[in-house]
Chains A and B, each alone.
Chain A
């Protein structure tokens, strides 16, 4: 019974594993990493500049995920007009927290 409880705890922890960085301030991006099912990384990006920069911003995030060896993570990015370096900085911050939780 004890083992079963521990297993439930671990699964719940895993399911609730969430880290975030950034903010909804002007010029910033709010990033949230969640545990996903399977080894792939999924990305959901919202940006007011979808038509102009949407593809570019997606490629920044997915490249960073690949470079950092992230697997099984669902990434939510809410862009508020962030420059590329802000995406990089917020990704690095979120990623550090994520890796600390493993």
Chain B
């Protein structure tokens, strides 16, 4: 397990057809914003929205975030006629990653990968600069997960699309944890981040906290948000507490005295995996946690 290059505890969705939301989205301190061209935009508005987002991304407002906020763009699914034009619009703006919904087949990801490469060449961007996040929303995608994880070196994360997945499989919400664990277990050998779905009831902070804690304890790295009020809760849940940081510092300090051997700290044994976890927590904390 390694430290991931991105810190995406909170990923705020912004509908691409809502200018007033686009204009404000960088102010809220989310780790990432996802400009959405997919589900929040009706078929009639697809083209107009693409033009609007293209113009919006040329504006200087993208530098006003109080923290480093990564830009992602969710394009339309690879089974639709819209994704190629979405990609053409998106790449010149150099988003950190493209989020792909309703992923099913590794072949379609390979096709998109080739398209991305051609666009990067055309716009004189470093090859492989634009990363991919695949959203797993169907049982068929679960079936192909290892193949999907391995099909492009651009892939940095998997997102769980829980609403579509529950609809597709008939699984009830209380069993979502099983799917989260399964996703984490398959993504980890490929060093991919795993990101949880949105919590749709944005008037229910406690419900969000409970669901985020479940995702966090399942090994997920972050969660999508649909309202700015959800961001601080996600940052709390997906960041180590002051107590945990203190613990990690102490473990690392004591490991120096014990020269790599297992040792006892406050009555618990500390060996290599625990030391590694403490080091990762500190490294991540020093790199970006508030």
Contact = CB atoms under 8 A, between A and B. Distances in A.
B108 interface: no
Given A85-B56, A85-B59, A27 B20 contact: yes
Contacts of A92: 51, 55
A23 B55 contact: no
A83 B23 contact: yes
A25 B20 contact: yes
B120 to A, nearest CB: 25
B55 A89 contact: yes
B52 A86 contact: yes
Interface residues of B, number: 15
Nearest to B45: A23
Describe B's contact surface by its main secondary structure.
Answer: helix
B265 to A, nearest CB: 55
A90 B237 CA distance: 40
B55 A86 contact: yes
Interface string A67-82: 0000000000000011
A28 B58 CA distance: 17
A93 B51 contact: yes
Contacts of A28: 18-20
A28 B45 CA distance: 13
A96 B20 CA distance: 23
A81 B48 contact: no
A88 interface: yes
Contacts of A86: 19, 52, 55-56
B54 interface: yes
A82 B56 CA distance: 12
Given A86-B52, A89-B52, A26 B20 contact: yes
A94 to B, nearest CB: 9
A81 B20 contact: yes
Given A85-B58, A86-B52, A93 B47 contact: yes
Interface string A22-33: 110111100000
A22 B20 CA distance: 13
Interface in A19-77: 21-23, 25-28
Interface of A: 21-23, 25-28, 81-83, 85-86, 88-90, 92-93, 96
Interface of B: 17-21, 23, 47-48, 51-52, 54-56, 58-59
29 contacts: A21-B48, A25-B18, A25-B19, A25-B20, A26-B20, A27-B18, A27-B19, A27-B20, A28-B18, A28-B19, A28-B20, A82-B19, A83-B23, A85-B55, A85-B56, A86-B19, A88-B55, A89-B48, A89-B52, A89-B54, A89-B55, A90-B52, A92-B51, A92-B55, A93-B47, A93-B51, A93-B52, A96-B47, A96-B51
Closest 7 interchain pairs by CB? A27-B20, A89-B55, A27-B19, A93-B48, A89-B52, A85-B55, A26-B20
